[in-house]
Amino acid sequence: MDELESDRAHGARIYDYILGGNDNFAVDRQAGEATLRAWPAMRVSMRANRAFMHRVGRFLAAERGVRQFLDIGAGIPTRPNLHEVVQEVAPEARIVYVDNDPIVLAHAQALLTGTPQGRTAYISADVREPDGILGARELHDTLDLDRPVGLLIIAMLQFIEDDEEALRVTRRVLDALPSGSYLAVTIATADFAPEPLGKVREQYNAHGETLRLRTKEQAARFFEGLELEEPGVVQTHRWRPDPADAGTIADADIAMYGAVGRKP
């Protein structure tokens, strides 16, 4: 069997293609083009999602003193990756990446090239079976789970159709982390461009992938019991934007909510 399923488009590789990467196959490029035809702003939205991840990493490292990170649904390496962002602030930072796509595993070496003072590791696991992550030797060898961890789940939960399952697995991982840890997620939504996003979802469904689009209320449920950092649950481009970028992106071009919460 072709482990990479190069005859079938995959979310990780479509995302890579639309972001301008080279780690994708012809089927992914076709699906990416179809997605862009359905909604030309998809590239803007995906870039804003990635930029949100960079700002969150910098914020947690620089302003909240977080030195350990768990990035689930890490994706195909795209510089800067999370460890490059946070180790710029704190070279001793440690990062564990998780993804379940064999193509991400094939490129994982690029995620394991951090600073000599810090450390990075990769776990090939499916978040729907969180014990595979929580029991992994690489997790315990790399992170001290008695100290706060920044848990990032960025542009991944749309691939879990069932809301209760998405909430349960997120909560299960967060439960294993101590008080003072942070959760950062982005959640796909059709709230600002319902019609084109409906077409995008059809595209994903056509190649056998789910694309669950959630409302702001549904996105906020991931933060129940946590202390939300300002400005709360907002579209990714509105979460603590770099001053140079503020006001340059239209709301209608962004299909992601993002937020960061602290575990009390």
**3 state SS of 75:** coil
Binding mask 50-89 for ligand SAM (x = CB under 6 A): x--x-------------------xxx--------------
Q: Hey, what's the torsion of the CAs at 193, 235, 155, 171, to 10 degrees?
A: -120
C-alpha dist (Å) from residue 195 to 56, 189, 198, 251, 252: 30, 12, 5, 15, 11
Residue 155 vs 255, nearer CB to ligand SAM:
155
Peptide bond preceding 80 in cis form (omega within 30 of 0):
yes
Indicate which single residue of 42, 121, 151, 155 sits in contact with ligand SAM (rule: CB under 6 A): 155
Characterise 196 by phi-psi region: left (phi > 0), alpha (psi -120 to 50), beta (else). alpha
96 part of the interface to ligand SAM, by CB under 6 A? no
49 part of the interface to ligand SAM, by CB under 6 A? yes
Phi–psi pair at 219, nearest 5 degrees: -65, -40
Residue 14 vs 93, nearer CB to ligand SAM:
14
Q: How many residues bind ligand SAM (CB under 6 A)?
A: 21
253 part of the interface to ligand SAM, by CB under 6 A? no
**3 state SS of 187:** strand
- Give the footprint of ligand SAM on residues 114-143 (CB under 6 A): 126-128
C-beta of 37: minimal distance to ligand SAM in Å?
A: 19
99 part of the interface to ligand SAM, by CB under 6 A? yes
Give the span between the Cα atoms of 67 and 147, in whole angstroms.
9
Residue 74 vs 233, nearer CB to ligand SAM:
74
Q: Note the residues at the interface with ligand SAM (CB under 6 A).
A: 11-12, 15, 49-50, 53, 73-75, 98-101, 104, 126-128, 154-156, 159
